[in-house]
Structures are given as C-alpha cells and as structure tokens.
Amino acid sequence: MTSFVPELITGHTLALVAIISLVLSLAIGLVDVGIRMFRGAGISATVTAFPLTVLCLFGFTFPIALIAYISGYLATMNRTSAVGTILPAALALIGGLNIYVFGTDNQYRVLITYCVCVFAIMLFYGTQYGAYMREASREARLIALTAQEYRIKIVRRNLGYPRIFRPGW
C-alpha cells in the first residue's frame, strides 16, 4: 500500500500552488501590458514594469491561492460536506470584501477582485483534487485488502489449513 510522506505532500502542494500562482500572475501581467500599450504608454516603460508587476501579483496570489487550495483539499478529504463547511465561509469573505471595495472609495478594486477570483478558482480546484485523492485512496485500499486476502488464502492452502476460517475449530 502507498505510504504517505508528509514532507513530499507539503512540497508537492507548495510547488503546485506556486506554479499555478506564477501562471496566473504572468497571465494578468500580460493583460496589464496590453492595457498599458492600449493607453499609449511607451514600450520601454511597459517592459521594465512587467517583471515588477508579475512579482507583486505573485506576492498577492500565492498566499490567497495556498489558503484556498488547502481549505478545499482538507474539506473534501475529511468526508464531510464541503458545501456545508467551506462555502458559507467563502461567501461571507467574498461578501465582506464586496461591501468594503464597493462601499468605499478604494483604489485597489481591481486587485481585490483579482484576489477573490483566484480564491474561488483555487478553492474549486482544491475541492476537486481532494475528492479525487479521497476516492483514489479508497480504491487503493480496497485493492490492497484484496491482495492481502489472496496472500492469506495462499498461505493457508500451503500450510494445509481449511479454505475457510471458522472460529472455534
């Protein structure tokens, strides 16, 4: 049966979330470049601002994505309903941010909207991956139990014991 090494699972989770965060940051950074070019900013100013923009976006994306992914993953690995546990908290967070962003004169509306979108995407991905891993683990356990039972039957046959074990014999 598969043994789980916590260090590898943690490293895999961090690497996965970092790669997804980097891809999202690069995509939004390219959108920012397109907007700057459309507004008439110079190419040199746009090119020099691109790495800093991507780095700043990654700084916002990674922690939000990590929290959302782990929340979704753990909620579905626990065999309890993810809808009843995580969804109310996520909707309360999004509702509170909407009240804050659109209720005040805030210059970071786009960034907060981006972070909410990243949160929703990563929460969904985490729940899907957690559900898949739960079912894959359950299937692997059943396969391992079947193989163990087969090995026990072979040992019983080789030792000359009866085919079926009946307590009290």
> Cα dist. 29→21, 34, 46, 58, 165 in Å?
12, 9, 10, 10, 67
In this structure, is residue 63 part of a structural domain?
A: yes
**What is the span of the domain harbouring residue 119?**
6-159
Residue 83, pLDDT score: 64
What is the maximum span of the chain, computed from C-alpha positions, in angstroms? 90
In this structure, is residue 55 part of a structural domain?
A: yes
In this structure, is residue 136 part of a structural domain?
A: yes
Rounded to whole angstroms, the Cα distance separating 122 from 26 reads 16
- In the chain, the number of structural domains is 1
In this structure, is residue 33 part of a structural domain?
A: yes
Residue 22, pLDDT score: 93
Residue 110, pLDDT score: 81
- Which regions of the chain are under pLDDT 70? 1-5, 78-83, 85, 101, 105, 168-169
In this structure, is residue 169 part of a structural domain?
A: no
In this structure, is residue 1 part of a structural domain?
A: no
Given a contact cutoff of 8 angstroms between Cβ atoms, the answer to whether 13 and 69 are in contact is yes
